Homo-oligomer: A and B are copies of this chain.
């Protein structure tokens, strides 16, 4: 199967050119491009450049995502704040949000920022990891279009409601959990060209288990009632806490042609107010090395810490480039008359 390898800087150039053609504001372009390419670098291809054609461009063109983010802080009190994203890019408002949370946490030990009237924000770890730069613990949660049935139900109600939390370490990789609360992220299914999915991931429209991606009626939450409960909790924290659309009321994103009002919650915990920062990092490093040394199950070569595989993939892709499948590459090579100029073709 034909694939292409694109260096991350070349991919960035392409995305920037494309978003500029769509008249997206320059400052927004930086953040959205950063988020998409970071997803590709980390191997979360479902949330990278693959999202551009249908997901973002469709919505920008139809006016569901504002070309010029007019986000503003509408409330500020003690350690909390609310940002109105004004229907701009989720990435832009959430990035502003985590920076603001870090600022509050410098003053108060922690900061919690709600973001409403927003749109899809890409990978949650893009924001949680931003707090690491200031030696803080960062976290980010989002609701999403209704794609997941609560445990026991057969009809979608909650979203895949992702969350991420990131901890700085003293070593090579931080600890970064970034996960959807469905068994599998919806984007990963969209990207699956084989159209065959594993058992236990989804139900068809009649509520029966299906392995045919084209017949998916609803996705299942991860971890049974526990994961389902976490999905519900994230829905409440992101949306109901800010009187924003919740559950199926964020509207269906099936065709990416309706507006979808999402909400996020991002926060930062200032480690140095809890303990000595160096001691924190030293203990994280000890935990990492102890977990790496644990004996493994049959067939398992290595125990991975949250975010370790992604960080290693990034190291590799920075050197070798980002792989893009043939179909996607061909779509990208015509979009708004933009082209990826430099690439390597793999046969």
Q: Which residues of A are interface residues toward B (Cβ below 8 A)?
A: 75, 77-80, 82, 107-110, 112, 114, 137, 149-155, 157, 165, 167, 175, 177, 179, 203, 207, 222-227, 229-230, 232-233, 235-237, 240-243, 246-248, 269-271, 273-276, 279-280, 283-284, 287, 290-291, 294-298, 300, 302-306
Contacts of A243 in B (CB 8 A): 275-276, 279-280, 283
A177 to B150, CA, bound (A): 14
Q: Check B303–A152 contact: CB distance below 8 A.
A: yes
Q: Check B79–A79 contact: CB distance below 8 A.
A: yes
Distance (whole angstroms) from the CB of A275 to the closest CB of chain B: 4
A300 to B207, CA, bound (A): 12
Q: Check A149–B294 contact: CB distance below 8 A.
A: yes
Q: Check B280–A154 contact: CB distance below 8 A.
A: no
Q: Check B151–A303 contact: CB distance below 8 A.
A: yes
> Given A241-B269, A241-B275 in contact, is the A154-B297 Cβ separation under 8 Å?
yes
Contacts of A165 in B (CB 8 A): 233
Given contacts A78-B107, A225-B304, A240-B275, 5 further A-B contacts (CB under 8 A): A75-B273, A152-B296, A154-B296, A157-B290, A243-B276
Q: Check B155–A295 contact: CB distance below 8 A.
A: yes
Interface centre among A223, A240, A271, A298, by most chain B C-beta atoms within 10 angstroms, is: A240
> Given A78-B273, A80-B110 in contact, is the A150-B283 Cβ separation under 8 Å?
no
> Given A110-B112, A243-B275 in contact, is the A79-B82 Cβ separation under 8 Å?
no
> Given A149-B294, A283-B243 in contact, is the A274-B80 Cβ separation under 8 Å?
yes
Question: 16 A-B residue contacts at CB 8 Å?
Answer: A78-B79, A79-B108, A79-B109, A80-B269, A112-B269, A114-B274, A137-B241, A150-B291, A150-B303, A151-B303, A153-B303, A167-B236, A240-B280, A241-B271, A246-B283, A246-B287
Contacts of A230 in B (CB 8 A): 177, 230
Contacts of A287 in B (CB 8 A): 232, 235-236, 240, 246-247
A109 to B224, CA, bound (A): 33
Q: Check A232–B154 contact: CB distance below 8 A.
A: no
A290 to B240, CA, bound (A): 14
> Given A269-B241, A276-B243, A303-B153 in contact, is the A295-B207 Cβ separation under 8 Å?
yes
Q: Check A247–B290 contact: CB distance below 8 A.
A: yes
Contacts of A237 in B (CB 8 A): 137
